[in-house]
Amino acid sequence: MPTNNLLPSTTTSATTTTLFLRWLSITILLLATLSAAEAALAPQQTTTIIVVTVTATTVATPTVPHPASYTSLDLFENTILSVTNTYRQAHNASNLIWNKSLAEYAKKWAEGCKWAHSVGHVLLLP
């Protein structure tokens, strides 16, 4: 069975619009070429002007936000430690344990960060 390269097996609205616009452009070019050839063969002089305006509007489909992966801080901490320790064991490194004091310190430090771009070693603050 021959393959139809004009239409993909699964089409989206954007793909359908793009294919339609290609088809329309080809059709307009063929009509213009045929009109020009016909005018060249005809004894009288004719002028054909074809004006086409095509507007295609695509609307983004709204996405549904995903719920949080972890609803429990304990589950999150245990998962992070488990995955980290799996990689550490593969390299014969000892397991890590969660340090609540260090985690609280890191959280407070991160909350005080000034988020700005840096250039090399220079921090650009607004």
Task: Decide: helix, strand or coil at residue 122.
Answer: strand
Per-residue pLDDT band for 38 (boundaries 50, 70, 90) equals low
| Residues contacting 45, CB < 8 A, separation 6+ | 39
Per-residue pLDDT band for 72 (boundaries 50, 70, 90) equals confident
Q: Is the pTM of this model over 0.85?
A: no
**Structural domain spans, the chain:** 12-57, 70-104
**What does the pLDDT read at residue 87?**
92
Overall average pLDDT of the 17-35 stretch: 79
Contact call for residues 48 and 42 (beta carbons, < 8 A):
no
Q: Which of 32, 33, 61 is nearest to 49 (CA)?
A: 32
**What does the pLDDT read at residue 56?**
74
**What does the pLDDT read at residue 122?**
60
The residue with greater pLDDT, 67 or 72, is 72
d(CA 25, CA 45): 26
